[in-house]
């Protein structure tokens, strides 16, 4: 570690690399979409006027937001503001907070399907005055007549009044379980929704229950992005704690912790995660949170080993002796002087672990061990149908996973360039 603030150097490194910079911006965009998902995709209108004509109105979408949601959105804007304008030191703290809330939020299904569209259609409110979000579908809002409807901008997705596909080679698909071929039924277009054959109705298609894939992708981003961050943060914290204790105190503490590290490293991580998740109670912990912690529980040794090695190297460094010469206690010397210098490689490992965690979550959800229906995650979206004809159900969630994990790794690469001591020589040479 050659110089000052770690975050400043990471930021400079990302800024200096166009690819990493684009990836970071894309991830920020993804995060914004995930946080703001209830404001972008919802079956409640922003505003609707009373039918009585008295001028009164309701704000159904905002009324439905839980306090947690509001806190999340406010925190996110604070984080963005800090990233854009502020001193960067507290960005990390805020971002971590966001991640934590993020992880907890999808577990509380406050955004269940509402009856607002029916109420508007019934004439309780003035239909023309209703202002709906850009995507007028909730993530759990079903429309069985549109089961497995392809993206609506495709010609093959055009549906007649009777509910049958007008053209296209695609015959109705039998249900994989029951074998029943669904009879065409007219597609109901509810209040606020785009027209039946509008390209904007289901731009990414619909799933088996006729739910809008785009809306589910947006909400699914919350779990998928949060689990990655949360697992990396937990893994980092645990690894630093164990690694620092082992490296600094040495002796039998080191012996014990090092053997512990080796034991955990021996476990086939993925199956351990499966085992724990199969026995975890989703009512106690939201599955997104338990997935993150289980990933952290098997992933911390890699960070712990790096921190231990760095602490061993630094505990007798001149500046640590100098701190002791000023009367600093061993704990203070560790926390204030050894650790800040020892964290570089651990931060690098943790930044790569974000993408790794997101991938593990996707795999778990794909296998059905992840978050519970109807809450979506990218992994569970991709497993919605295994039929080759339903390519949009596999392509779009898959792309989202691919792009976000690639983004994490590109940013991680920039972090590594900034912090890895092994690359220090190259850095100096480049100047």
Partner 1 sequence: MSRFEAGARREVLLDVAKLSTRYEGRGGSVLAVDAASFRVHPGETVALVGESGSGKTTAALSVLSLLPRGGRVEAGEARFRGRDLVRLDEREMRAVLGAEIGVVFQDPLASLDPVHTIGRHVREALRGTPGLSWIARRKRAVELLARVGLPDPERVARAYPHRLSGGMRQRAMIAVAIARRPSLLVADEPTSALDTTVQAGILELFRSLRAEIGMGILLITHDLAVVAENADRAEVMYAGRIVESASVADLFAEPRHPYTAMLLRSHPSRASGARGDRRLESIPGRVPDPSERPSGCAFRDRCPLARGRCADQAPPLLPIAVGARSGSPRSVACHFDEEAPALLAAPVVPPRSPS
CB of 62 to partner 1, least distance (A): 42
Is residue 373 a contact point for partner 1 (CB under 8 A)? Answer: no
User: Closer to partner 1 at the Cβ: 3 or 63?
Assistant: 3
The minimum distance between CB 309 and partner 1, in angstroms, equals 17
Query: Nearer to partner 1 by C-beta: 81 or 424?
Result: 424
Q: Determine, following the binding rule CB under 8 A, whether residue 326 of this chain makes contact with partner 1.
A: yes
2 interacts with partner 1 by CB under 8 A: yes
| Interface segment toward partner 1; rule CB under 8 A; list 94-102, 103-111, 268-276, 337-345 | 337-345
| Closest by Cα among 357, 365, 370, 368 to 295 | 357
Give min distance, CB of 47 to partner 1, in A: 49
Strand order of the β-sheet with 47-50 is 57-58, 47-50, 125-131
- Cβ distance to partner 1 smaller for residue 1 or 395: 1
Helix (H, G, I), strand (E, B) or coil at 165: strand
Closest approach, Cβ 243 to partner 1, in A, equals 18
- Which residues share a beta bridge with 135? 41
Please give the Cα distance from 225 to 343 (Å, whole number). 24
State the Cα–Cα distance between residues 346 and 415, nearest whole angstrom.
11
Query: Which 3-state string (H, E, C) describes 58-101?
Result: ECHHHHHCCHHHHHHHHHHHHHHHHHHCCCHHHHHHHHHHHHHH
Token couple for 237: 């914290």
| Dist CA 102 CA 427 (whole Å) | 36
Among 67, 72, 63, which Cα is nearest to 34's?
A: 72
User: Quick one: 121 or 312, whose CB is closer to partner 1?
Assistant: 312
* Residue 181 is a binding residue for partner 1 (CB under 8 A): no
**Spatial separation of the C-alpha atoms in residues 182 and 261, rounded to whole Å:** 55
**Judged by CB under 8 A, which of 44, 337, 390, 416 binds partner 1?**
337
- Helix or strand (DSSP H, E) at 348: helix 339-367
Nearer to partner 1, 184 or 250 (CB): 250
> Nearer to partner 1 by C-beta: 2 or 388?
2
Tokens of 195: 């027209």
Pick the binder of partner 1 from 98, 304, 323, 362 (CB under 8 A).
Answer: 323
Return the number of other C-beta atoms located less than 10 Å from residue 116's C-beta.
25
> Least CB distance from residue 326 to partner 1, whole Å?
4
Burial of 232 (C-beta count, 10 Å sphere; 0-12/13-18/19+): buried
Q: Does 4 bind partner 1 (CB under 8 A)?
A: yes
Element (H, E) at 29: helix 18-35
Hey, which residues between 186 and 215 contact partner 1 (CB under 8 A)? none
The interface mask with partner 1, positions 288-317, x = CB under 8 A, is ----------------------------xx
CB 96 to partner 1: min, Å: 20
172 is an interface residue for partner 1 by CB under 8 A: no
Q: Does 22 bind partner 1 (CB under 8 A)?
A: no
Residue among 341, 363, 383, 391 that touches partner 1 (CB under 8 A): 341
Q: Does 176 bind partner 1 (CB under 8 A)?
A: no
Q: Can you tell me which of 5, 15, 87, 259 binds partner 1, judged by CB under 8 A?
A: 5
Closest-CA residue to 382 (of 225, 229, 224) = 224
Q: Which residues bind partner 1 (CB under 8 A)?
A: 1-6, 316-319, 321-329, 336-337, 340-341
């Amino acid at each position: 570690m050659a110089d000052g603030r770690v975050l400043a150097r990471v930021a400079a490194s990302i800024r200096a690399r166009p690819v990493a910079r684009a990836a970071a911006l894309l991830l920020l965009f993804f995060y914004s979409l995930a946080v703001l998902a209830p404001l972008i995709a919802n079956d409640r209108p922003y505003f609707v006027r009373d039918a009585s004509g008295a001028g009164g109105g309701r704000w159904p979408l905002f009324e439905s937001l839980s306090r947690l949601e509001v806190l999340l959105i406010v925190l996110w804007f604070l984080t963005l503001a800090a990233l854009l304008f502020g001193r960067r030191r507290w960005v990390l703290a805020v971002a971590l907070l966001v991640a934590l809330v993020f992880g907890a939020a999808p577990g509380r299904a406050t955004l269940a399907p509402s009856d607002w569209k029916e109420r508007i259609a019934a004439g309780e409110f003035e239909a023309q005055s209703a202002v709906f979000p850009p995507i007028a579908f909730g993530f759990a809002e079903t429309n069985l007549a549109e089961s497995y409807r392809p993206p609506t901008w495709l010609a093959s997705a055009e549906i007649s009044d009777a509910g049958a596909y007008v053209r296209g080679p695609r015959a109705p698909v039998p249900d994989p379980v029951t074998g029943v071929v669904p009879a065409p039924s007219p597609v109901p277009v509810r209040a606020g929704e785009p027209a039946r054959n509008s390209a904007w109705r289901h731009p990414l298609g619909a799933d088996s229950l006729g739910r809008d894939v785009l809306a589910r992708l947006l909400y699914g981003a919350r779990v998928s992005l949060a689990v990655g961050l949360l697992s990396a943060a937990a893994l980092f914290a645990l690894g630093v704690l164990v690694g620092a204790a082992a490296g600094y105190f040495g002796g039998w503490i080191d012996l014990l912790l090092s053997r512990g590290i080796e034991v955990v490293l021996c476990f086939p991580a993925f199956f351990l995660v499966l085992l724990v998740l199969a026995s975890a109670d989703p009512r106690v912990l939201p599955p997104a949170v338990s997935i993150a912690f289980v990933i952290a529980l098997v992933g911390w040794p890699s960070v712990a080993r790096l921190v231990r090695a760095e602490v061993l190297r630094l505990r007798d460094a001149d500046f640590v002796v100098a701190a002791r010469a000023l009367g600093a206690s061993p704990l203070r010397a560790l926390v204030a002087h050894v650790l800040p210098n020892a964290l570089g490689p651990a931060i690098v490992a943790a930044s790569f672990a974000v993408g790794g965690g997101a991938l593990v979550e996707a795999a778990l959800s794909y296998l059905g061990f992840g978050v519970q229906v109807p809450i979506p995650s990218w992994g569970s979206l991709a497993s919605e149908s295994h039929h080759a004809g339903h390519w949009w159900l596999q392509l779009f969630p898959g792309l989202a996973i691919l792009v976000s994990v690639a983004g994490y790794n590109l940013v991680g690469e920039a972090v590594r360039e900034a912090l890895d001591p092994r690359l220090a020589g190259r850095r100096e040479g480049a100047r």
